[in-house]
Amino acid sequence: MKRLTISSIAELAGVSKATVSRVLNGYPHISPEVREQVEAVIKETGYQPNQVARSLASDRSNIIGLVIPKGTEAVFLDPYFPALTNGITQVSNNNGLTLALFIFHSEQEGQDTIKSIVNTGLLDGLILTTDRVTFDRTTDPFIPQLVERNIPFVLIGRPDNPSDDIPYIDTNNVLGGYIATRHLIDLGYERIATVTSRYNPAGDDRFAGYTQALEECGREVDMNLVAYGDYTLESGYREMKTLIPHKPDAVFVASDTMALGALRAINEANLVVPDDIAVVGHDDLPPAVQATPQLTTVRQSVEKLGGQAVEMLLEIINSKEDIKRQVLLPSKLVIRASCGAKRKKAT
């Protein structure tokens, strides 16, 4: 069967190729009768426009990139990234966009890929997750290059040094750390530890919320009760083991994945959650419900975070004005079995 072209549709509809092109591209100044006539032929024939030709004509590829500066293993083992990617792909698909995924295994690999992204111009825009370890935002030239070359982009996560030039969307992580810690204080816990992270600004903000809650209640931050992980299960396990000798009666862990590791360390120390140590996580991803006991945690809507990042990127791409937006999504505490009112131990 001969491949259908715009010329074929024009001949069958009895109009010019230019008219068919205008209908396909949504031009407004076409009579309803002609538009209906062309659309009827397109529907009857099952014609699909040549996307490459349309992209060349519109100077748009309809491809956006998702940059995750982590190795493949870390991305697919951490439940945060599948949830985030699911939200991004759903909104991308709904808007006829193709998503290109860039995962880096080393800093050099990342730098080489970034140069390729910036220089080829094949993408309409980029979504990037913030990561302080792989790319030092204070010295890495990638973000300034995007700004200088007017390449549309959105960060998922607050950058180290927010400015009007950098659009980003994030969860209110300060609020998350605050409500988790304040909940433990209100339940009567006194030695509240934290496993936080220096891995990205989210860890800084969750620790800031933890600190704010303690200080608001007249308590000092005891650095013996502060440990730093890297959002992996093993780091949560390792850092919780260092905290246990300091006898915390509760711990706020800055991610659910690290909290699962913390639960294992507590169990191996023959301690009971929440009777001996209460645990609160952050994220409310599926493993929080699968944990034993089920994990009290701060919910951030990871899929919504990804979907709104795509919507923000499209707004920037399609706007003729200079749009620089910063959005914080709310956090919410979800109470389950891993913490309860503190019980007084028998003497």
pLDDT of residue 340: 86
Q: Within this chain, do residues 256 and 209 fall inside the same structural domain, yes or no?
A: yes
Q: Which domain holds residue 97?
A: 63-169+303-329
pLDDT of residue 131: 65
Q: Within this chain, do residues 184 and 279 fall inside the same structural domain, yes or no?
A: yes
pLDDT of residue 134: 43
Domains of the chain: total = 3
> Of the spans 34-48, 181-195, 319-333, which averages the highest pLDDT?
181-195
Q: Within this chain, do residues 310 and 294 fall inside the same structural domain, yes or no?
A: no
Q: Within this chain, do residues 296 and 177 fall inside the same structural domain, yes or no?
A: yes
Q: Quick: pLDDT tens for 137-157.
A: 444 567 777 877 788 999 999
Question: Has residue 18 been placed in a domain?
Answer: yes
Q: Quick: pLDDT tens for 65-109.
A: 998 877 676 777 888 999 999 999 999 999 888 999 888 776 677
10: domain CATH number? 1.10.260.40
Give the mean model confidence (pLDDT) for residues 121-142: 67
Q: Within this chain, do residues 308 and 160 fall inside the same structural domain, yes or no?
A: yes
Q: Within this chain, do residues 203 and 278 fall inside the same structural domain, yes or no?
A: yes
pLDDT of residue 305: 95
Residue 264 CB neighbour total at 10 angstroms: 17
- Amino acid sitting at position 75: V
Q: Within this chain, do residues 37 and 129 fall inside the same structural domain, yes or no?
A: no
Q: Within this chain, do residues 307 and 295 fall inside the same structural domain, yes or no?
A: no
What tokens does 303 get? 């899929």
> Nearest CA to 102 among 94, 90, 88?
88
| Widest pairwise Cα distance in the chain | 94
Question: Has residue 200 been placed in a domain?
Answer: yes
Q: Within this chain, do residues 180 and 225 fall inside the same structural domain, yes or no?
A: yes
Q: How far apart are CA 106 and CA 71, in angstroms?
A: 8
Q: Within this chain, do residues 281 and 211 fall inside the same structural domain, yes or no?
A: yes
Q: Within this chain, do residues 187 and 294 fall inside the same structural domain, yes or no?
A: yes
Q: Quick: pLDDT tens for 221-270.
A: 999 999 999 999 999 999 999 999 999 999 999 999 999 999 999 999 99
pLDDT at position 135 over 60: no
pLDDT at position 177 over 90: yes
pLDDT at position 57 over 70: no
Q: Which residues contact 305 (CB under 8 A, 6 or more apart)?
A: 84, 87, 156, 169, 170, 171, 329
pLDDT of residue 166: 84
Question: Has residue 319 been placed in a domain?
Answer: yes
Q: Quick: pLDDT tens for 18-52.
A: 888 778 766 767 888 998 999 899 888 887 765 54
Q: Within this chain, do residues 74 and 139 fall inside the same structural domain, yes or no?
A: yes
